Structure 1
Amino acid sequence: MIDVRNLRKEYGGFVAVENSTFSVDAGEVFGIIGPNGAGKTTTLKTLAGLIDPTAGEVSVAGYDPGDSAMRERLGFLPEESPLYEEMTADSYLAFFADLYDVERGVARDHIADTLDRLDLQHRDRPLGDVSKGMKRKVAIARSLVNDPDVLIYDEPASGLDPLTTNYVIDFTRELADDDRTVVFSAHNLYHVESICDRIAIMNHGEIVAQGPVDELRDRYGTVQYHVYTSVPVEGSEPDDGRHVVTVESMDAVDAVTEEAERAGGAVVDIRTVEPNLERVFLDLAEGDAGRA
């Protein structure tokens, strides 16, 4: 559904995105993560047809992003999404359905179903009088009024309370389960890890790694072992009457065991810590920092 080849976007002498290549299939959630200024939003706006690439090829649902026919297949949610605050949720969404030429009876049923799925209350209240979480849900519903195949969401849960955040993230996964293509950016790596089929990690405008989360953890992550001993060993710290040292191989665990025994003590516990996406992301970002 989405195919990006050697994407480059330059503003004057500043390169915001360089040589980015990736593809996303129908029914897939593809996450784009990276530090501020990494090129995430530029990439998403290029996919949405809001900015033109300097170089490279981009195809969305078989169309060039600048093609008006593509926009009929697309739902886009920017990070900041002001609403017409004097309108109610129902009237606001009906207005956008009219802009997409959705037949009014179909639009009415579709809007009601979407708001039910989003658990949106106070639909007859002016949008200026509702919470930020409710406004975000309305903005998400707006992205769906034309029943799009492709959804591009920039920080869909930005600034929301934990309960609403979880609801929005779960709903994003449900959209892919409906066989839609979803591309989104987020800073909360726990949510990215929980719902994405694949991710791309960006830094300094380039994709420095991409693939399924499990593969990235295996490729770039490091398993650590927290070894608890009854006596101090080199590099250990006190921990609730014991001592703990962190090592990264079983050979190192064996060395700690031998050192503890020579000191008249023993290893009393070993805990394995699997790498998570946050650790992989930080290692890659820090390892790439020398290029800044």
Structure 2
Amino acid sequence: MIVLDIGGLRKRFGTRTALEDVTFSVRPGEVFGFVGSNGAGKTTTMRIVLGVLSADAGEVRWKGTAIDAEARRRIGYMPEERGLYPKMKVGEQLAYLARLHAVSAADAAAAVTRWTERLGVAERVGDEVQKLSLGNQQRVQLCAALVHDPEILVLDEPFSGLDPTAVEVMSRVLRDKADEGVPVVFSSHQLDLVERLCDRVGIIAAGRMVAVGSVPELRSGGVSRIDVVGPRDWAGAVPGVSVVSEDGPHTRVELAGASDQDVLAAALAAGPVHEFTPHRPPLTELYKDVVSR
């Protein structure tokens, strides 16, 4: 089942193409990481989903039908820029935002207590937002996305400015919401965190989706590399092999026509081989490879 279906989005600002045929979907209980460089189109896509911007072409579908204002009320959105009133007190502001989503006063008060305690800002509910640190403002910003019990979370750089402890707290909250069946879409430049937290990843470059899938799926579609620990200075002469790196006994090669057995035979011919393993690139490396291609 697909909850959020984004199909063929195109958006231009004057002569600049911000999005071109952006397509991906999100399933119930899935954490979807949306990654790309600054200006790649992540925020523009999210704003179209929220209705802040309109697309020139394409559509956003919610549970099989075109998304409308009523469906958008069920989204918990966290913008990259601070979207809070700086001179308003934390608790009052969160309750007000919950009430805008038709939450009763009693339920809004309970939600404010629950989420400020969960995200570690309960002691600051009587403070003005502008008096909080940037990290605590980010925690309050996530509270604001959660107080109306949304059916989906769309978060733009939610981990920006957070210390490691806060990152772990927020990660646990997002994972717990996904375990409840709530789909989570978030963008981030912290690719190690995306790899650890997300079920699937979408990579966008210059307004186009260049890859979508789980990290193992992205690995399977990339180049094949092998790490060898053993003899030195042997790989350069092997046909169909490109040397990625050599550091003493550690050699990483990329298969460009040769098979892994060809590589193993060449390494053994040069000396004893202590390790011979497929290279499992982290998301950071996969991202660079996909974008460069």
The TM-score normalised by the length of structure 2 is 0.86
Secondary structure of the corresponding residue to residue 122 of structure 1: helix
Deviation at 1:63, TM superposition (A): 5.7
Any residues of structure 2 matched to 1:218-257 within 5 Å, and which? Answer: 218-229=220-231, 232-233=233-234, 237=246, 239=248, 243-248=249-254, 249-257=260-268
Deviation at 1:282, TM superposition (A): 0.7
Match of 2:17 among 15, 18, 34: 15
Deviation at 1:80, TM superposition (A): 0.9
Contact in 1 for aligned 2:235/2:266 (Cα 8 Å): no
Provide the rounded CA distance (Å) in 2 between the counterparts of 1:232 and 1:216.
30
1:103 matches 2:68? no
Query: Which residue does the alignment assign to 2:179?
Result: 177
- Matched residue type, 1:253: L
Deviation at 1:275, TM superposition (A): 2.1
Query: Which residue does the alignment assign to 1:86?
Result: 87
Contact in 1 for aligned 2:129/2:137 (Cα 8 Å): yes
Provide the rounded CA distance (Å) in 1 between the counterparts of 2:25 and 2:128.
40
Contact in 2 for aligned 1:2/1:60 (Cα 8 Å): yes
Contact in 2 for aligned 1:127/1:135 (Cα 8 Å): yes
Query: Which residue does the alignment assign to 1:150?
Result: 152
Cα distance 1:189–1:237, how it changes in 2: closer, same or farther (>3 A)? closer
The farther-off stretch of 45-54 and 144-153 is: 144-153
The TM-score normalised by the length of structure 1 is 0.86
Contact in 2 for aligned 1:47/1:60 (Cα 8 Å): no
The farther-off stretch of 182-191 and 55-64 is: 55-64
1:194 matches 2:205? no
- Matched residue type, 2:134: K
Query: Which residue does the alignment assign to 1:60?
Result: 62
Contact in 1 for aligned 2:36/2:205 (Cα 8 Å): yes
Provide the rounded CA distance (Å) in 1 between the counterparts of 2:65 and 2:153.
14
Provide the rounded CA distance (Å) in 2 between the counterparts of 1:205 and 1:20.
7
Deviation at 1:163, TM superposition (A): 2.2
Provide the rounded CA distance (Å) in 2 between the counterparts of 1:64 and 1:257.
60
Q: Calculate the aligned-residue CA RMSD, in Å.
A: 2.1
Structure 1 unaligned blocks of 5 or more: 261-265, 288-292
Secondary structure of the corresponding residue to residue 76 of structure 1: strand
Secondary structure of the corresponding residue to residue 75 of structure 1: strand
Provide the rounded CA distance (Å) in 2 between the counterparts of 1:144 and 1:238.
49
Identity %: 36
